[in-house]
Structure 1
Amino acid sequence: MDPTLAAQMSEEVAEKMLQYRRDSSSWKICREGNGVSVSWRPSVEFPGNLYRGEGVVLGTPEEVWECVKPVAGGLRVKWDENVNGFEVIQSITDTLCVSRTSTPSAAMKLISPRDFVDLVLIRKYEDGTISSNATHVEHPLCPPKPGFVRGFNHPCGCFCEPVPGEPGKTNLVTFFQTDLSGYLPKSVVDSFFPRSMAGFYSNLQKAMKQFHD
């Protein structure tokens, strides 16, 4: 992928992510519990929903980032039940890459294995926040693979934010905006995302506990 185009695209995605983060209106809560809230609103990117998760996780932003960051051979595939493979297709800079993520079947196998090819930008902010910012791209080195339905992530990612006055905690805000493709009933998709996002937080919390023990 052309580095100039990739840089431009990723900057636009990072800007959208900041807008999502700042916009506190128009979200409807669809799941709450264990200190985690998941809300949604209609996506302006595709005919589906934009989901927002928020919860405080035990650990500094750097420690939480270590568990969630998109790197080959990283910790994410070990604890996140919705990710079973991650590879870097093209490394553009040390903070920008094209990646392929594969996911297992889900929702009692109603959702078959998927894969996603994304442009991912890692951003660090002055207040100590670390973020990932991603969107789908096509890449010649990563055509559709047998056994996987190709899904599409519209601008998505996460913010690992310091909690003021509580140095050992991180406010983790996640945004998912995924077109799973295939012929899935809307009801299956709408029930899958809030449940899987709640599971993401509880599995991350367990992984962080092991990290601290």
Structure 2
Amino acid sequence: MDFQEAANSAAEHMQSYRKDPSGWRTCKRTNEISISWRPSTEFPGNLYKAEGIIPARPEDVFKCIKPETGGLREKWDQNVKEVVVIETINENICITRTTTPSAFMKIISQREFVDVVLIKQDEDGTKASAATNVEHPLCPPEPSYVRGRNYPCGCFCIPVPGDPHKTQLLSFFQTDLAGNLPQTVVDSFFPSSITGFYTNLNKAVVKLVA
């Protein structure tokens, strides 16, 4: 598999999701976050879009999200058990294995995801990551985990004009949890999981910059 090509394709998908306003339906809105969805074109599930303002600079927000072995993500994200970088392809691209704990009152058992991740910074100061599922010889499926798949997903940490200490976080989630889960469980899980992601990230960033 050409990991560079897969990473670039994920980044192109992310840009297209960002630019295309059509078909989104709001499913949750709070003071912190707005979440919408539309049917995925990648698999028989949904693509979710989340937007919110985080009270910190883009580089500080990104520090909390960055995929790295033993990084900050494991400490604050309740949906992440462990992140391990399996292989570094170059300074911008790596292969990660992420494990997640059981969730939704243990209806969803623990999962593992293997992804290629591309990290880049735009000229306007936006820091972005894009990821998609891959197979890797160093990471065969483990019997104690259900192997899920992330389709093109990731986030943009966008500077807020006129306020360098705020970041617009635009995220896309597109995950096939696999297994034999009822669709009602899947449809309930993602909006609440994404809300938790933003709430816990907010707390982690405030702690980081304090």
Q: Following superposition of structure 1 onto structure 2, how do residues 51-200 of structure 1 map, counting pairs within 5 Å?
A: 51-200=48-197
1:212 CA drift (Å): 2.4
Task: Indicate which of 202, 205, 208 corresponds to 1:205.
Answer: 202
| Structure 1 CA distance for aligned equivalents of residues 129 and 188 of structure 2 | 25
| Structure 2 CA distance for aligned equivalents of residues 34 and 80 of structure 1 | 20
Q: Residue 37 of structure 1 aligns to a residue in which SS?
A: strand
Q: Residue 89 of structure 2 aligns to a residue in which SS?
A: strand
1:66 CA drift (Å): 0.4
TM-score normalised to the size of structure 2? 0.98
| Structure 2 CA distance for aligned equivalents of residues 98 and 205 of structure 1 | 26
Q: Residue 93 of structure 1 aligns to a residue in which SS?
A: coil
| Structure 2 CA distance for aligned equivalents of residues 146 and 26 of structure 1 | 38
1:8 CA drift (Å): 1.6
8 Å CA contact 2:32–2:199 kept in 1: the answer is no
1:208 CA drift (Å): 1.2
| Structure 2 CA distance for aligned equivalents of residues 24 and 51 of structure 1 | 13
Match of 2:23 in 1: 26
Following TM superposition, where does structure 1 have runs of at least 4 consecutive aligned residues deviating by more than 6 angstroms?
Answer: none
Q: Residue 10 of structure 1 aligns to a residue in which SS?
A: helix
- Structure 1, unmatched stretches of 5+, are none
Please give the per-residue CA displacement for 1:170-207, whole angstroms capped at 9, x wherever unaligned. Answer: 00011010000000000000000000000000001111
Amino acid in structure 1 at the alignment position of 2:62: W
Please give the per-residue CA displacement for 1:129-151, whole angstroms capped at 9, x wherever unaligned. Answer: 01111000011110111210000
Match of 1:42 in 2: 39
Please give the per-residue CA displacement for 1:22-67, whole angstroms capped at 9, x wherever unaligned. Answer: 1122110100002200100000000000001100001000000000
Amino acid in structure 2 at the alignment position of 1:124: Q
> What is the percent sequence identity of the aligned residues?
57
| Structure 2 CA distance for aligned equivalents of residues 139 and 211 of structure 1 | 33
RMSD: 0.8
| Structure 2 CA distance for aligned equivalents of residues 165 and 143 of structure 1 | 47
1:6 CA drift (Å): 1.4
> What is the number of residues matched between the two proteins?
210
| Structure 2 CA distance for aligned equivalents of residues 14 and 193 of structure 1 | 22
| Structure 2 CA distance for aligned equivalents of residues 212 and 180 of structure 1 | 34
| Structure 2 CA distance for aligned equivalents of residues 136 and 40 of structure 1 | 20
| Structure 1 CA distance for aligned equivalents of residues 132 and 68 of structure 2 | 16
| Structure 2 CA distance for aligned equivalents of residues 73 and 194 of structure 1 | 26
Amino acid in structure 1 at the alignment position of 2:107: L
